[in-house]
Structure 1
Amino acid sequence: MTETNRTATSRSPEESTLTVGRVAALVGVSVRTLHHWEQIGLVVASGRTWSDYRLYSAADVARIHRVLVYRELGLPLAEIGRILDDPDVDPREHLIRQRELLAERIRRLTRTAQAVDQMIERTTMTENDPTITLSVQEQARIFGTDWDPAWQEEARERWGGTDAFAQSAQRTAAYTAQDWERFTEEMRALEADMADALGRGVDPGSAEAAELVERHRAWIGRSYDCDHGRQVILARMYTDDPRFTAHYDASAPGLALWLRSAVEENARRHGVDPDTATWE
């Protein structure tokens, strides 16, 4: 037997697998997340060391990558688990489905970018007046049948006289198509991370929840100034207005309530009483 053959024969199973720390670094998630996924049966390490540390095989890592793609697409972890464990679907069909979902997302972003391009052109034609709005017919043509013109009028009636409304109109009027894409992607990534935190049982009063809430506040701040008091007022709508509740709970059931609780807990840390918070 040659030296090469002796080496191959003596290689232990641990040499062809990865520890949880190496897998976390490889795929870009935390060790805590991988531990949670194992606890809920989403991704279970197929091996263990003699000291009972998790060892992930190539197949385990491939499953993690599939989870990450589905999570990026906004699917709740429970649904991802059902999809991956469907005995009637093989790995190739999973990839085909992921490709179709990604293609649809690209189509939606492309339509959004085209709409923004037209809005930029319209704004330029009206001498960059940030208060100019599209006509109902133009809104329907650009945004499609899902767009409800009443939303814009409702926003104007409720907040049209505020500095936040003026700031939002001015800042978004200057957005490029790339700005809108980044803005939308930030929102979806944040909502996916919040849904993941909820799924892992993260306490709304924890430091991890506070970090997500600050990301949420910074994202709002891209449109207008948002202090902790304003964020509390906004968070109330997430549970009081069924439209907001449906939006957040589509990512994970109960997310609207979790986000409101996390916002209120974070506000208390910064000296704001949620019960008496005001917009100004």
Structure 2
Amino acid sequence: MSMRVKEVADLVGISVRTLHHYDEIGLLTPDETTESGYRLYSNDNLEMLQQILFFKELGFPLKKIKQIINSPSFDRYEALRLQRKMLLEKRSRIDKMIQMIDKTIQYMKGEIQMTNKEKFEGFDFSHNPYEQEARERWGDKVVDQGNAKVFNMSKEEQASFSERWNTICTKLAELRHESPDSKEAQAAIKEWYHLLNELGNYSLEAFKGLGQLYVDDERFTKSIDQHGKGLAKFMRDAMVVYADQNKR
């Protein structure tokens, strides 16, 4: 059932202006707009809004959120799993800071002694831990170069790219029971190589290494094998053949 912008704002507890802003920057565009100009949000829109708000809670700026969720390789389930992990870590850091405050109050009352080191326990000024894991999950090329390019695409270009992405995955899935060095398999994996290089700058060696990651990282395997069981391994083998044949 579709919901109007005011209904969504009331449900979530954010302002209508915020939702309008998300639409204007292309972060969350409602699936429908009535002839009268009313925005209508679908269940898919609400799920993506939930994802956006989780990212915000983890300290991501809107521009970075847009880059990640628009990535062709973005996996919502995997993102939720990682977000849960990072929120638990964030809760742990907050608990430590609360303990430090309590100790500092006791110290000010003269009830306990406190070293200078103890006065700063709980502070963490390192980089965003979720972003690092996102890089490990989707790769630097996707998070940085790739998403930057997707971010600059128009909605039509993004839709076209996503369609090409899925078309090649489907083609490879249909070939996964064939030999990875077959003419058909190599033609399809060549398309994959060139498609990836529209997002980043993959050398043949990097392409080969990425294929190995498809098998070594169960998260990649699960995402790729959604198109067909065994696809990740087939793509790995085909990418090795392609890289070795073309670097000669």
Q: TM-score, normalised by structure 2?
A: 0.48
Q: TM-score, normalised by structure 1?
A: 0.43
